[in-house]
Amino acid sequence: MSMKYIGLSEINGPLVVLDKVSGVSFDEIAKIRLDDGSERLARVVELAGDKAVLQVFEGTKGLSLKNTQTQFRGRPMELALSTEMLGRVFSGSGKPIDGLGDIFPQKYADINGKPLNPVHRTYPRNYINTGISSIDALVTLIRGQKLPIFSGSGLSHNKLAVQIVRQAKIAKDNGQEFAVVFGAMGVQNDVAEFFRRSFEETGVLQKVVMFLNLSNDPIIERILTPRCALTAAEYLAFEHNMHILVILTDMTSYAEALREFSSSKGEIPGRKGYPGYLYSDLASLYERAGIIEGSQGSVTQIPILTMPNDDITHPVPDLTGYITEGQIVLDRGLDQMGVYPPVSVLPSLSRLMKDGIGEGFTRKDHSAVSNQLFASYAKVQDARALASVIGEEELSAQDKTYIRFGKLFEENFLTQSFSEDRTIDETLDLGWLLLSTLPKSELDRVSKGDIELYYDDKKAALRFDL
Amino acid sequence: MNKIYSINGPVVKVRDTKDFQMLEMVYVGNRRLIGEVIGVTSEYTTIQVYEGTSGLNVGEPVETTGAPMSATLGPGIISNMFDGIERPLKVLGEKTGAFIEDGTEVTAIDTQKEYDVTLTVKVGDVLHAGEVYATCPETALIEHRCMLSPFVKQGIVTYVAGNGKYKVNDVVVKLDCDGEETELTLCQTWPIRTARPIAKRLPPDRPLITGQRIIDTIVPVAKGGAAAIPGGFGTGKTMTQHQLAKWCDADIIVYIGCGERGNEMTQVLKEFSELIDPKTNRPLTDRTVLIANTSNMPVAAREASIYTGITLAEYYRDMGYHIAIMADSTSRWAEALREISGRLEEMPAEEGFPAYLPSRLSEFYERAGYVNTLSGKEGSVTIIGAVSPQGSDFSEPVTQNTKRFVRTFWALDKSLAYARHYPAINWTMSYSEYSDDLSDYYNRNVAPDFMQLRQQISSLLHEEANLMEIVKLMGADVLPDDQKILIETARVVRVGFLQQNAYHADDTYVPLKKQYLMMKAILLLHSKAKEAIARKVPMSSIIGTGWFEKLIKVKYDIPNNKPQMFDEYEAQMTSDFAALVSAV
């Protein structure tokens, strides 16, 4: 594969077309060398006869029809992998950018990955204690799960992600190693720096692999970033038996890069101009989480996405929600009221929690308490809606207790400080204390036995000054 | 030799050839990836490839097979897990490890396993299409019946092997069909896009009993019917489908995970092998076939997975079994259609979906039915399709078109799911057109006034919905007492009856008889309470009897096997209210 093709026949956005090529395969990587000696990577995205369409990751700025030499590599995009990657910083396409030189690869792997055979998966059941009440009690994170944070611009999703990384006791048993793979797509330099600094302060920096595609980096490179990150994660998890937490931010920028690429390729757009294959494409990333039978490691994903205009029905959060195993939704209203973390409880969900909580995992009453908190908090919303029409004074006594419960719940249960690390017992006891501010007859999701054991309205009155 | 001319994702074109038939299966490239011809013009033949095309070269060969995409049908299907084009995932895993490689050729069913075969014909018999010539136990629950393929009209039996152990490709019967000899083995093939023929359709007048109260009582589906479950993410589509797959009274479940999560399929596999069917004392996997095309598997195979699933179901229906298909989710299938259509540069209709979306959906749902098979047996295929509307908006094309072709509609409601009211089936938006067809069955087999009580429960809920409009604006305090009672009773219906706990040993499956008795008890309470109000008993003492709370918990307090306890409850309730009235 040493043949070099001089020049191009067409340039269109991030795409270039080469004529009279032969022996080129679909999805193969090519190196484009410019006259000034600089090199760019490109990928074959379409082949027709002797014509090849290539997508240039670093952008086509400065390319002309005759100042290039293109060389095909005969392989799809591969990432050099090694355990040395821990503690290093890479560009969105996997080149080291921390000035410490190339890594010595132990193997190369196709960044697109391969679908994991469901027969060979192990169903995730071990919960990760994040020390955050709203997550542990209501949207429990399970090792091997993909649980995104749906946020909006200006909300504290980054802070929350850092707190999860710091407090997650992901490797507490078996003495296994734990590491973080961080993929940044189109985020500002400040944000990437915030994560780096926080990892440093937490003392995990040597356990972090960073892939950075910042907002001023080439847009098409963004399509590679999460794939590189996940390839590194799979390598560390399944070949070196580590527990890996992957943080991908911001998936909305990733989807926008995909849209830009799709439209320059002239594809028929689906909803809001995003390509029709957005679902399959996102799935090819999110599905790369889990546990393989026989391997000690795991890949847990926390993708972060900002909902444009806080709209959860926007295609990116919508399709993400259909693929991931639940979601943690942040709410601007709560944020403005000073609630941190501003987790909007009702739309948040963890699909895997039902099998990872309860006796032997967390506590026997966990499932009942969380159901009851959800159900009671849902009634708070009804009472508030009514109060906004007829005024709080006019509410029935029962509705008033719900309004009170809602306020206490938000102030005491949801709110916790950035450094506060609650045990699961503390969290569940706090849940019971809050439920104890409601009359017993209102608790229809918990068993009589649990009520007798945990319901304590006197203690609640004392604690909350009722 | 035909060669690849162009490659665009899963779509490959071959130029200037007349060798290909429409919808024929082909092998693409040196790695022999499986593909299907989806367009033929004089200039180009268009092929969709069911595996990843990464690394494919222009100029690699494309091989014809002359046959359409077909499923292999024979013993060994049940309790297996296949990908979208009927490749057993377990065998794939043995060949390529935990990750699926492209171009791996495996046989659909185990050709080496031996079955205890009993021949049911003798030399000289005339065998017609669809008639059984041999049987063998496939699992502990399912007897496999080998039938003459509908492609062969009839023939005279000229050779019969003796009863004994045979592999699926062993010849057990030979037929003389108008002078031509046909050899019959234990298996046959059938093109997945063609419905298998039947003798006659029968009216759908038996319910698919699921043990889920809101489904069985309020919005039932008939055996041989078609139902859709639309709902945004997190509303419990998959959960509902799992419940149905576990508990419904079909003989065989075909569970199609179409573009869904890998962990979910693993969960089904694990849970179903651990769950013991109470009726047969065997694990549920003994009656289940799984088809898994997870969301990161090739998109073209996703499109095929639905057809593969229904073809397997029809095959077992022809043996005289009742099959329920869970298709989760048909939206992913529709999106696969859209994706392929986009690659073909077809003119899009609504939201980028191809114009033929409605006709494909109707073709699929029409393959449901309660039928007389060619051999005169009764069998049925019930389709339960999950729909994942984009943006939770039920006006999007897949939901709207699906609505036209199904007769039961279980609308999942986000606000119910947020309040953790499961199953989150919204009772005002859901409907069942089968309820009239099924009323006879319920009245005859459960209780003569079953349908009447059901109607009363529905009206109660309807009236509550109207009253809630007022309550939302002015609070519940402004209502007169009789309407307050109605709201209280409706709450009992919602929380005590419609809400069902899938994790509770008794509540996860409730027999029809108990469903009926629960309805009856709730309606008795309502009439007693109304009567008391009319006799000027104050609201607070009616609530104070505790009966409303008691009936909410009745689903847990009265075990499924002790329906006689309802008599005690009713007697106690009657005397409590009599005491109330006399006290005034």
pLDDT at residue A265, rounded to an integer: 82
- Cβ of A389 under 8 Å from any chain B Cβ? yes
Instruction: List the 225-284 stretch of B: residues with Cβ below 8 A of A.
Output: 232-234, 257, 259, 261-263, 265-267, 269-270
- Cβ of B543 under 8 Å from any chain A Cβ? no
Whole-prediction pTM: 0.91
Please, what is the Cα angle at B464 between B462 and B465, to 5 degrees? 65
pLDDT at residue A2, rounded to an integer: 64
Domains of chain A: 4-76 (2.40.10.170), 79-355 (3.40.50.12240), 366-463 (no CATH)
- Spatial CA neighbour of B317 closest among B138, B136, B196: B196
- Asked if the Cβ–Cβ distance from B267 to A355 is below 8 Å, we say yes
Q: Is the pLDDT of residue A197 over 60?
A: yes
Give the strand pairing for A51-56 and A78-81: unpaired
Q: What is the pLDDT of residues A33-75, one digit of tens each?
A: 998 888 888 999 999 989 999 999 888 888 899 889 999 988 8
pLDDT at residue A225, rounded to an integer: 95
- Mutation site, A280, A393, A400, interface B, largest B CB count within 10 A: A280
**CA of A307, closest CA in chain B: separation in Å?**
13
- Asked if the Cβ–Cβ distance from A271 to B503 is below 8 Å, we say no
Residue B347 confidence class, pLDDT cut points 50, 70, 90: confident
Percent helix, strand, coil in chain A, to 5, is: 40, 25, 35
Q: Is the pLDDT of residue B186 over 80?
A: yes
- Cβ of A449 under 8 Å from any chain B Cβ? no
Q: How many residues does chain B have?
A: 584
Q: What is the pLDDT of residues B501-532, one digit of tens each?
A: 988 888 999 999 999 999 999 999 999 999 99
Facing B388 at nearest CB: one of A47, A48, A322: A322
Omega of the bond leading into A439 within 30 degrees of 0 (cis) = no
- Cβ of B464 under 8 Å from any chain A Cβ? no
CA distance B103 to B33: 5
**CA of B558, closest CA in chain A: separation in Å?**
15
pLDDT at residue B104, rounded to an integer: 82
CA distance B332 to A319: 11
Residue A172 confidence class, pLDDT cut points 50, 70, 90: low
CA distance B89 to B100: 9
CA distance B232 to B390: 7
- Spatial CA neighbour of B516 closest among B563, B556, B562, B549: B563
A379: closest chain B residue by CA: B419
Backbone angles phi, psi at A7, to 5 degrees: 80, 175
Per-chain mean pLDDT for chain B = 92
Please state, as a whole number, how many other Cβ atoms lie within 10 Å of the Cβ of residue A242: 23
Q: What is the pLDDT of residues A380-424, one digit of tens each?
A: 998 998 898 888 888 888 899 999 999 999 999 999 999 999 999
pLDDT at residue B168, rounded to an integer: 94
B414: closest chain A residue by CA: A347
Contacts of A352 in chain B (CB under 8 A): 263
CA distance A420 to A138: 17
Facing A27 at nearest CB: one of B55, B58, B261: B55
Contacts of A57 (CB under 8 A, 6+ apart): A14, A40, A41, A42, A43, A93, A218, A220, A221, A223, A224
- Cβ of B550 under 8 Å from any chain A Cβ? no
- Cβ of B452 under 8 Å from any chain A Cβ? no
Contacts of B100 in chain A (CB under 8 A): 114-117
Contacts of B5 in chain A (CB under 8 A): 48-49
Instruction: Determine which helix (DSSP H) or strand (DSSP E) holds A246, and give its type and residue range.
Output: strand A243-249
pLDDT at residue B349, rounded to an integer: 86
Residue B268 confidence class, pLDDT cut points 50, 70, 90: confident
User: What does the block give as tokens for B84?
Assistant: 């979208």
Q: Model ipTM?
A: 0.86
Instruction: List the 101-140 stretch of B: residues with Cβ below 8 A of A.
Output: 101
Identify the weakest region by mean pLDDT among A398-407, B246-255, B268-277, B552-561: B268-277
- Cβ of B572 under 8 Å from any chain A Cβ? no
Angle between helices B357-365 and B299-318 (to 10 degrees): 30
- Cβ of B335 under 8 Å from any chain A Cβ? yes
- Cβ of A327 under 8 Å from any chain B Cβ? yes
- Asked if the Cβ–Cβ distance from A26 to B54 is below 8 Å, we say yes
- Asked if the Cβ–Cβ distance from B8 to A327 is below 8 Å, we say no
Q: How far apart are the first and last CA of chain B?
A: 97
Q: Is the pLDDT of residue A327 over 60?
A: yes
CA distances from B71 to B132, B186, B314, B345 (A): 19, 14, 11, 29
Q: Is the pLDDT of residue A1 over 60?
A: no
Cβ contact B371:B335 at 8 Å: no
pLDDT at residue B54, rounded to an integer: 86
**CA of B328, closest CA in chain A: separation in Å?**
12
pLDDT at residue A176, rounded to an integer: 74
Per-chain mean pLDDT for chain A = 91
- Mutation site, A18, A47, A296, interface B, largest B CB count within 10 A: A47
CA distance B290 to B269: 8
CA distance B464 to B526: 13
Average the pLDDT over A274-280 and give the result: 88
B92: closest chain A residue by CA: A117
CA distance B461 to B464: 5
What would the DSSP string read from start to end of A353-398? Answer: HHHHSSTTTS-TTHHHHHHHHHHHHHHHHHHHHHHHHH-GGGS-HH
What would the DSSP string read from start to end of B47-65? Answer: EEESS--TT-BTT-EEEEE
- Asked if the Cβ–Cβ distance from A386 to B475 is below 8 Å, we say yes
pLDDT at residue A380, rounded to an integer: 95
**CA of A150, closest CA in chain B: separation in Å?**
13
- Cβ of B473 under 8 Å from any chain A Cβ? yes
CA distance A298 to A241: 7
Average the pLDDT over B413-419 and give the result: 89
User: What does the block give as tokens for A179?
Assistant: 């590491």
Q: What is the pLDDT of residues B204-259, one digit of tens each?
A: 999 999 999 999 999 999 999 999 999 988 888 888 999 999 999 999 999 999 98
Residue A171 confidence class, pLDDT cut points 50, 70, 90: very low
- Asked if the Cβ–Cβ distance from B100 to A117 is below 8 Å, we say yes
Residue B258 gets which letter from DSSP? E
Contacts of B476 in chain A (CB under 8 A): 396
A328: closest chain B residue by CA: B234
Q: What is the pLDDT of residues A219-265, one digit of tens each?
A: 888 999 999 999 999 999 999 999 999 999 999 999 999 999 888 88
Q: Which amino acid is at B228?
A: A
CA distance A303 to A285: 10
Please state, as a whole number, how many other Cβ atoms lie within 10 Å of the Cβ of residue B353: 23
Contacts of B473 in chain A (CB under 8 A): 389-390
- Spatial CA neighbour of B23 closest among B5, B37, B9: B37
CA distance B92 to A403: 56
pLDDT at residue B187, rounded to an integer: 94
CA distance B415 to B457: 21
Please state, as a whole number, how many other Cβ atoms lie within 10 Å of the Cβ of residue A169: 12
Cβ contact B186:B174 at 8 Å: no
* Residue bearing tokens 């179409």: B258
Query: Buried b vs exposed e over A340-353: b needs ≥16 C-beta within 10 Å?
Result: bbbbbbbbbbbbbb
pLDDT at residue B361, rounded to an integer: 95
Residue A173 confidence class, pLDDT cut points 50, 70, 90: low
CA distance B66 to B482: 73
Facing A49 at nearest CB: one of B6, B388, B414: B6
* Residue bearing tokens 């022996």: A23
Side-chain half-sphere CA neighbours of A75 within 13 A = 9
